[in-house]
């Protein structure tokens, strides 16, 4: 299992609010190399599949609705200790609790519209990267 890759999405709120460039800049300056990148859209079916681990949670329906509400940017990122370091870079799930200077503190409005996704394990980073990218699209 690779420990130097993670997967991220710039969520519909941050795309709609014009933050794609600023967030990618923040990621690059944080020491992450972008090894795959795609501007795309998650249908409700695809969003449901992506977040299937949360199926039983009370916020699942709202999460699926939100994630399919507009286009997203998907990316695979490379850095030593990528998963943990990227979670530090983005900050807490609830932006009101996110540390100052983190991506969610800077660009997120609420726990639903929280600007970015970051994988929570090496295993999920690999699964999520392959959800969006074929072998020919990963560099
Ligand atoms: P992500 O997986 O999107 O990176 P996360 O790992 O910080 O976020 P998870 O627990 O995996 O948080 O939850 C997935 C998403 O579901 C969150 O990003 C958030 O938008 C939403 N969510 C999580 N907890 C709540 C909650 N208590 N109320 C509303 N929405 C929530
Ligand atoms: Mg998560």
pLDDT, mean of each 10-residue run, the chain (139 residues):
94 98 98 98 98 96 98 98 98 98 97 97 97 97
pLDDT score for 13:
98
Within 10 A of 3 (CB to CB), how many other CB atoms are there? Answer: 12
Reported as type and span, the H/E element at residue 50 is helix 44-50
> Tokens representing 109?
């409005």
Closest ligand to the CA of 92? 1
C-alpha neighbours within 13 Å on the C-beta side of residue 74: 20
Q: Whole-model pTM above 0.75?
A: yes
Closest C-alpha to ligand 1, atom 3: 117
92 CB near ligand 1 (under 6 Å): no
Q: CA–CA separation, 83 vs 89, rounded Å?
A: 10
Residue 29: its pLDDT value, please? 98
pLDDT of 2: 85
Q: What is the structure's pLDDT at 98?
A: 98
Angle at which helix 122-132 crosses helix 82-90, to 10 degrees, equals 80
pLDDT of res. 46: 98
Which residue, judged by its Cα, is nearest atom 18 of ligand 1? 93
Q: Is 117 a catalytic residue?
A: yes
Is 122 near ligand 1, meaning CB less than 6 Å away? no
Helices (H) and strands (E) in the chain, counts: 7, 4
Q: How far is the CA of 49 from the centre of ligand 1 (A)?
A: 15
Q: What is the dihedral of CA 67, 45, 125, 37, to 10 degrees?
A: -70
């Amino acid at each position: 299992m690779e420990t130097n890759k993670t997967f991220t999405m710039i969520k519909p709120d941050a795309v709609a609010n014009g933050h794609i460039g600023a967030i990618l800049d923040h990621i690059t300056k944080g020491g992450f190399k972008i090894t795959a990148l795609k501007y795309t859209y998650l249908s409700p079916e695809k969003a449901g599949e992506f977040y299937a681990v949360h199926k039983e949670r009370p916020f699942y329906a709202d999460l699926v609705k939100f994630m399919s509400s507009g286009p997203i940017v998907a990316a695979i990122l490379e850095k030593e200790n990528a998963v943990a370091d990227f979670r530090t870079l983005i900050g807490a799930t609830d932006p009101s609790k996110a540390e100052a200077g983190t991506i969610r503190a800077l660009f997120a409005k609420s726990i639903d519209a929280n600007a970015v996704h970051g994988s929570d394990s090496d295993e999920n980073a690999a699964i999520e990267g392959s959800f969006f990218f074929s072998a020919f699209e990963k560099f």
